[in-house]
Amino acid sequence: MGDISTAAASAGERKPKDPRTIARKYQLDLCKRALEENIIVYLGTGCGKTHIAVLLIYELGHLIRKPRRDVCIFLAPTVPLVLQQATVIANSTNFRVQSYYGDGKNPRNHEDWETEMGESEVLVMTPQILLHSLRHCFIKMDSIALLIFDECHHAQAHKRHPYAQIMKSNFVKFDSREL
């Protein structure tokens, strides 16, 4: 577990940051579309998919800004990606960002997660952490204002990847033959 936001800014300092100022038009267009409906952004490497996620977090900030209890959860499939994405989000916004991965220092019970969610606005984690927390009711889907899947191709229904398990157990059932 790591507090990325304190690494990105001094304690108590929450200067306004607007990621729209450096966004490309197509990123703004995709963010607008994501505000209207669930989407999958399929772009090549280096095309700014993470910045689109940052824009979306920024636009929905009123849903996660403390003292609200809801959070944004950003899932990344590997520890290096968790750390990288958490740093990008912390450097691009003024939200309180925490990272969670299999280091043994994660919240272990309902009370620990309540504290984390009461203090943080964006939680960046590996999907296994979220899956475990959902299964044990440490985190409830109705407290997640925005859920972002980085590298979402891992959620294919025929795989046993945690992304697929999160989707299967928490969202509308679908016929995998339609994929």
- What CATH number is attached to the domain comprising 150? 3.40.50.300
141 backbone dihedrals φ, ψ, rounded to 5°: -55, -35
Structural domain boundaries enclosing 96 = 2-11+63-172
Position 84: which residue type? Q
Number of domains into which the chain is organized: 1
Q: What are phi and psi of 176, to 5 degrees?
A: -65, -15
In tens digits, the chain (179 residues) has pLDDT values of: 666 654 444 445 566 789 999 999 999 999 999 999 999 999 999 999 999 999 999 999 999 999 999 999 999 999 999 999 999 999 999 999 999 999 878 898 999 999 999 999 999 999 999 999 999 999 999 999 999 999 988 777 567 889 988 988 887 555 555 54
Checking DSSP bridges between strand 2-3 and strand 71-75, what pairing results, if any?
unpaired
- 72 within 8 A of 122, measured Cβ to Cβ: yes
Residue 57 lies in a domain: no
Tokens (6 digits) for 68:
């609200």
154: in domain? yes
The answer as to whether 137 is a domain residue is yes
Alpha helices (H) along 42-126: 49-59, 61-64, 79-92, 110-119
